[in-house]
Amino acid sequence: MSEAMKKYIDEAESALLHTYNRYQIVLDKGEGVHLYDIDGKEYLDFVSGIAVFALGYNYPGYNDALKAQIDKLLHTSNYYYNVPAIEAAKKIKEVSGMDRVFFTNSGAEAVEGAIKAARKYAYLKDGKTDHEIIAMNHSFHGRTFGALSVTGNPHYREAFQPMIGNIKFADLNDFDSVLACVNDKTCAIIMETVQGEGGIYPATEEFLTKVRTLCDEKDILLILDEIQCGMGRTGYMYAWQKYGVKPDIMTTAKALGCGVPVGAFLLNEKVGANSLVAGDHGTTYGGNPFACAAINKVLDLFKQDNIIENVNKVAPYLEKRLDELKDKYDFIVDRRGAGFMQGLVFNRPVADVINKALEKGLILINAGAEIIRFVPPLIITKEDVDDMITILDSCLGDL
């Protein structure tokens, strides 16, 4: 580590609140699927800012669109209309099939809004405030109070009790566990279509279909969290579209702005017309012209450059190469995931492997103590996969 890098890290540790155990590098710039630290060392990025930089770095046209909007208008507040927000709402409705959009600044804020919309919908039906929400064990929806309340990891919640009330937890892909939680007070069921932090677990078509049918029968709202698994990562714009199991409310963020902090929750017309009204919800920055200019350009580039087609072309090769590693090393016990959201499951902690990979110029991240998560930019090639496997294989051999 250079003296300059050590100095920056020391300054950060003395100034920033220590809520992250950061890797000991200071990143400076990016180009394509590579990042560079302040010493000029190159890293192959298979994390993409935790599934944010779907287009990689300095993608043609993206930066120019943001620079053009900076010269026009950054912010107005939601007391006024702005063209980028109107256009972004139209485009995200088209790719999602949803009917109403509320723009936020983050995924956690999108989850907060989704919870409020579900509870308001139930309140307008019967005037009661004791409605319950069913969430999934091992889920992750964010760190704010509402999002944390439906996050299925007790360790994350225990120091901050009491959470918002009337939350029950079932098990993903176990429909009987959902039925055991349902009663006349149930107003919503929330889940990630593919669990991310909880271990890269996709919901099965059978499970999603049964939950959707249950929700239809009892007028329970289905909320699907597509913050990490959406925006093309699984080979569909949103992961639920593979099965055609449409939610009543959906959350999206991360790659929606490809680096600009932005999210949204989307509602079907039934919920949109019978939940939140003026005064119920708001945000100062959400949907401002700059953030929505990013959304517009991202969605345009996805369509123009066939980004999702690249996922479907390269993802099977990524799975094949990861399976080869699983077969080669007996301490890798499973590979699971969908598209460019994959996990290698080990029978031991993976921190040492990730640190070794970083030393050798490969950026990886975990999903739990024993799983390496692969969420690269959606523009990676088979050659990038080979480069990643070469480095990772050398790290695994060191074990």
pLDDT category, 53, cuts 50, 70, 90?
A: very high
Q: Say yes or no: do domains 3-59+306-398 and 73-304 share a fold.
A: no
0.95 exceeded by the pTM?
Answer: yes
pLDDT digits 0-9 by tens, 144-201: 999 999 999 999 999 999 999 999 999 999 999 999 999 999 999 999 999 999 999 9
- Phi and psi (nearest 5°) for 91? -70, -40
* pLDDT value at 1 more than 90: no
Integer Cα distance of 91 and 307 in angstroms: 16
pLDDT digits 0-9 by tens, 307-356: 999 999 999 999 999 999 999 999 999 999 999 999 999 999 999 999 99
Contacts of 352 (CB under 8 A, 6+ apart): 399
Mean of pLDDT over the chain? 97
Task: Please report, for the chain, the start and end positions of each structural domain, with discontinuous segments joined by +.
Answer: 3-59+306-398, 73-304
Chain-centroid distance of CA 129 in Å reads: 30
CATH among 3.50.50.60, 1.10.357.10, 3.40.640.10, 3.40.50.261 for 73-304: 3.40.640.10
pLDDT digits 0-9 by tens, 8-27: 999 999 999 999 999 999 99
Question: Could you tell me which CATH class the domain 3-59+306-398 is placed in?
Answer: alpha beta
